[in-house]
Amino acid sequence: MTAEDKQNLFPSDISFNPLLPTASDPDSSSPRPPLPPGMLPRDFEIFIKHLKEILGPDYVFRTDDQVAEYSRPFLHSPDGECWASAAAAPADLEQLRKVVALCQEHRVPVWPISHGRNFGYGSARPATSGQIILDLQRMNRILEINTQLGYIVCEPGVMYSDIKQHLSNQDAPFWISLPDLGPLTGPVGNALEHGVGYTPYGDHFLSTCGMEVLLSDGTLFRTGTGSVSESQTAHVYKWSLGPYLDGLFTQSNFGIVTKLGIWLMPEPEQTLPFAALLWQDDAIAEYIDATRELLMKNLIQSTVTLGQFRCNLNQLGPRRHLWKEAGPVSDERAERIREHIGAPVWTSFGALYGNSNVVSEQWKLVKERLNAIPNLELVTADNLDSYPYLGTLFEHRSSSMRGDGYSELLEETVGWRENGGIVWFSPVLPTIGNQIQKEHELAKRIILDHDLDPMTGYIVRERYVHHLISLVFDRTSSDERTRVQRCYKALLEAHIQLGYPVYRAPVTMMDMVAETYDPHLRKIWSRIKNALDPSGIIAPGKSGIDA
Ligand code: ADP
C-alpha cells in the first residue's frame, strides 16, 4: 500500500505518517480486527451503529485496512497481537463526552491517542486487544496563546507545527521545545508520556501547567487553580490548595486529557550551539561529570546529547551500504569507517542561551572546564568548516536546541534495516560519569550478544540521563523479532540489577516493566484506577495498570 493509498482510507483531516510500515509481512493482508473483550458480534454492531450516530459514518474506522493502519506499529510483535477492534475520531469535546458515555454503557475499552506517533513504544497500538482507539487528532484547537506570560493552551490534536505556525503568524518571540520527531507529533501526547526535547524547557512534562481532564463517568474538571472560577492563574501556577493531580494523568489510564497548558521559552538574544568531540573512548566518564557541573551551574542550559560513533552508524545510511555480512557490523569494521571519515569516538552537543555578553562570558567558563579533558575538541559555527563529518549533524542538533524538530531521524533509524522495525528501551541513570561508562559497555554487549546492532544515545540533564536504546530489526524476520524481545528482557534485567529503572515502555512490554516497580506502588495505582475508572474502560493495560 502506498502512502497515498493509506491516506485514501481516511477523510483528509485524519493523517498518517507515510513512514509507517504497511505490513509485517509485505505479502500478508490485514488481519480481521478482534471484538472488544467479552462482547458478542451482534452487540458490537449495535455499539458501532451508535458510535456512527455520534460521529458520523466517516469518523468510525473498522475495515481491516483502517484498523491495521492504527494497530500496525514498528514493534516486534506479529500482526494481530494487541490489535484494536476499531477506531473513532471525535471532532470536539461534546462528541468525545458522548463517545466515552457510550463506551461506559457498553463496557467497551478505549485507548486515547493524540496522534499515535509514539513510534518505538507502539505508535497508536493499544496494550491489549479489542480496544477502540480514540483518535483525538481532530480536536486540534489552540485555545490560547499568552505572549505576556509565555504559555499556550491546546487540545490533544494540536501539532508542534501548528504551534510554530501560530507563533510565527503572531510574531510572538517564543519557542516551544520539541522532541526529535516533533514535526510529526504534538505536545500533549509527548508531555503525557514524559517526553524530552533539547531546549532548556526540554523536560516536557515539567513545562506543562494546568489540565482539563475527562473521566470515564463523564466528570470533566480542571486541575490546580484552574478549577477556581475565572482563575487567572490556571496556566502559570502549578500548585494550589490541596494535592497536585496533573501527574496522575501522565503515562496512566485514569482519564483523558482534553486541554493542556504548556510554557513557552522566550526567544533568546543569542544561542550558541557547540559540539564536543571526544577522541578517546574512556574520556566519556570525565566528560559527563564535567557536563553535570556545567548544567547544574546553568552555564550550559540545553539538554546535552551524547552518542558513540559505533552506536550511531545509522547516521551514515542503511546497514547494507556499510556491511555485506549477516548480523551486526563488527567493531573492527566500525572502527575502520570511523578512521576513514575522521569522526571522533564520541560526539556531544549542547547550547548556551541569553544576552550576547552573558553568553560570551559563559562560553569562556564552559571552554575552560571542557578543555581540561584530554583529547577533547570544541566546535562551534566558527570552526565547523574544519570538521566536514559534523556538518549536517551540527545543523540538526543546533536546530533541535532552538526548538525545531528533526523528523529525518526516524527514517535514518528504521532505514538501517530493510522493513525496519524499532523498539525503544529507555532506562534512566544518575548523571555520574563512571556509572554511564560501565552501563554503556554493558548495554552494547547485551545487544551484540543478541546479534543486533547497538544503536544508542544519551540525553543528559543536570541530575539524570536517559539512555535511549533503539533496537532496530527486520520486521519480516520472526527470528529477529524474537531476538528483540529477548534482548529487551535481558537489558531490563541487567539495568534493574544495577538500579537503573525504565521510565517508559512499549505497549507489548508494559507489564514486564511495571513488574520491576514495587508491588505496593502498583497497588496504589490500582486503587486510584478503581476510584477514577472503576469499570476499567480507559486504556486497560497502560503502564501495567488495571482496575
Ligand atoms: P504523539 O502525539 O507523540 O503521537 P501519542 O498520541 O501516540 O503521542 O500519545 C502517546 C501516548 O500518550 C498514547 O499512547 C496514550 O497512552 C497517551 N495519550 C495521548 N494523548 C492522550 C490524552 N489526550 N489523554 C490521555 N492519554 C493520552
Q: What is the mean pLDDT of residues 315-339?
A: 94
Is there an atom of ligand 1 within 6 Å of 96 CB?
no
Q: Which pLDDT belongs to residue 73? A: 72
181 pLDDT more than 90 = no
Q: Whose CA is nearest to atom 10 of ligand 1?
A: 189
CA gap 58, 535 in Å, rounded: 28
CA gap 228, 231 in Å, rounded: 5
Compute the distance from residue 56 Cα to the ligand 1 centre, in Å.
Answer: 23
Helices and strands (H and E) in the chain: how many: 16, 19
408 pLDDT more than 90 = no
214 pLDDT more than 80 = yes
Q: Whose CA is nearest to atom 6 of ligand 1?
A: 114
On the 0-12 / 13-18 / 19+ scale of CB atoms within 10 A, 198 is buried
Is there an atom of ligand 1 within 6 Å of 538 CB?
no
% of the chain residues with pLDDT over 70? 96
Q: Which pLDDT belongs to residue 31? A: 87
Q: Which pLDDT belongs to residue 357? A: 97
CA gap 335, 191 in Å, rounded: 38
98 pLDDT more than 70 = yes
For the CA of 190, the closest atom of ligand 1 is 3
Compute the distance from residue 191 Cα to the ligand 1 centre, in Å.
Answer: 9
CA gap 140, 380 in Å, rounded: 38
- Band of pLDDT at residue 86, cut at 50, 70 and 90: very high
- Can you read off the three cell numbers belonging to residue 180? 526529535
CA gap 168, 158 in Å, rounded: 16
9 pLDDT more than 90 = no
Per-residue model confidence as pLDDT tens digits over 255-273: 999 999 999 999 999 999 9
Q: Which pLDDT belongs to residue 145? A: 96
Compute the distance from residue 501 Cα to the ligand 1 centre, in Å.
Answer: 22
27 pLDDT more than 70 = no
CA gap 527, 529 in Å, rounded: 5
Q: Whose CA is nearest to atom 14 of ligand 1?
A: 113
- Band of pLDDT at residue 19, cut at 50, 70 and 90: low
> What 3-state class would DSSP assign to 147?
coil
Compute the distance from residue 459 Cα to the ligand 1 centre, in Å.
Answer: 22
Is there an atom of ligand 1 within 6 Å of 138 CB?
no
CA gap 69, 63 in Å, rounded: 10
Q: What is the mean pLDDT of residues 334-362?
A: 97
- Band of pLDDT at residue 72, cut at 50, 70 and 90: confident
Is there an atom of ligand 1 within 6 Å of 504 CB?
no
- The region of weakest confidence among 64-68, 156-160, 203-207 is 64-68
Compute the distance from residue 418 Cα to the ligand 1 centre, in Å.
Answer: 28
Best probe residue, ligand 1, of 133, 154, 193, 410 (max atoms within 8 Å of C-beta): 193
- Averaged confidence pLDDT in the chain: 94
DSSP 157-204: T--HHHHHHHHHHTT--EE----TTGGGS-HHHHHHTT-B-SSTT-BT
Compute the distance from residue 6 Cα to the ligand 1 centre, in Å.
Answer: 21
Best probe residue, ligand 1, of 82, 118, 155, 252 (max atoms within 8 Å of C-beta): 118
Compute the distance from residue 244 Cα to the ligand 1 centre, in Å.
Answer: 21
Please report how the helices 356-370 and 284-296 are oriented relative to each other, as an axis angle in degrees rounded to 10. Answer: 150
Compute the distance from residue 203 Cα to the ligand 1 centre, in Å.
Answer: 17
Cell 510554557, located at residue? 263
Q: Which pLDDT belongs to residue 402? A: 94
Q: What is the mean pLDDT of residues 297-325?
A: 95
What residues does 133 pair with on adjacent strands?
A: 87, 111
Is there an atom of ligand 1 within 6 Å of 540 CB?
no
Q: Which pLDDT belongs to residue 77? A: 77
Compute the distance from residue 387 Cα to the ligand 1 centre, in Å.
Answer: 40
Q: Taking a C-beta distance cutoff of 8 angstroms, is the pair 309, 344 a contact?
A: yes
Which run of H or E residues covers position 134?
strand 132-135
Is there an atom of ligand 1 within 6 Å of 481 CB?
no
Is there an atom of ligand 1 within 6 Å of 131 CB?
no
Q: What is the mean pLDDT of residues 325-333?
A: 94
pTM of this prediction?
A: 0.95
For the CA of 193, the closest atom of ligand 1 is 12
- Can you read off the three cell numbers belonging to residue 378? 570544541
Q: Which residue has the higher pLDDT, 119 or 230?
A: 230
Q: In this structure, what DSSP letter does residue 208 have?
A: E
- Can you read off the three cell numbers belonging to residue 122? 507502539
> What 3-state class would DSSP assign to 379?
strand
Is there an atom of ligand 1 within 6 Å of 194 CB?
no
445 pLDDT more than 90 = yes
Q: What are the Cα distances from residue 461, in Å, to 178, 288, 290, 488?
A: 16, 10, 12, 24
Q: C-alpha 343: how far from its chain's center?
A: 28
Q: Taking a C-beta distance cutoff of 8 angstroms, is the pair 80, 31 a contact?
A: yes
For the CA of 181, the closest atom of ligand 1 is 3
Is there an atom of ligand 1 within 6 Å of 90 CB?
no
26 pLDDT more than 60 = no
Per-residue model confidence as pLDDT tens digits over 425-443: 999 999 999 999 999 999 9
Compute the distance from residue 33 Cα to the ligand 1 centre, in Å.
Answer: 21
- Band of pLDDT at residue 18, cut at 50, 70 and 90: low
CA gap 123, 115 in Å, rounded: 9
Q: Taking a C-beta distance cutoff of 8 angstroms, is the pair 484, 449 a contact?
A: no
Per-residue model confidence as pLDDT tens digits over 481-524: 999 999 999 999 999 999 999 999 999 999 999 999 999 999 99
Is there an atom of ligand 1 within 6 Å of 215 CB?
no
Compute the distance from residue 251 Cα to the ligand 1 centre, in Å.
Answer: 8
Q: Taking a C-beta distance cutoff of 8 angstroms, is the pair 309, 334 a contact?
A: yes
Compute the distance from residue 283 Cα to the ligand 1 centre, in Å.
Answer: 38
> What 3-state class would DSSP assign to 428?
strand
Is there an atom of ligand 1 within 6 Å of 17 CB?
no
Helices (H), 281-378: 284-296, 319-322, 331-341, 356-370
Is there an atom of ligand 1 within 6 Å of 450 CB?
no
Q: Which pLDDT belongs to residue 419? A: 87
Determine the residue type at 114. Answer: S
464 pLDDT more than 60 = yes
Q: Residue 431: CB partners within 8 Å, gap ≥ 6?
A: 288, 291, 292, 295, 460, 461, 462, 463, 464, 465
CA gap 179, 205 in Å, rounded: 12
CA gap 515, 118 in Å, rounded: 22
Q: What is the mean pLDDT of residues 1-13?
A: 76
For the CA of 195, the closest atom of ligand 1 is 3
Compute the distance from residue 87 Cα to the ligand 1 centre, in Å.
Answer: 14
CA gap 11, 116 in Å, rounded: 17
Is there an atom of ligand 1 within 6 Å of 188 CB?
yes
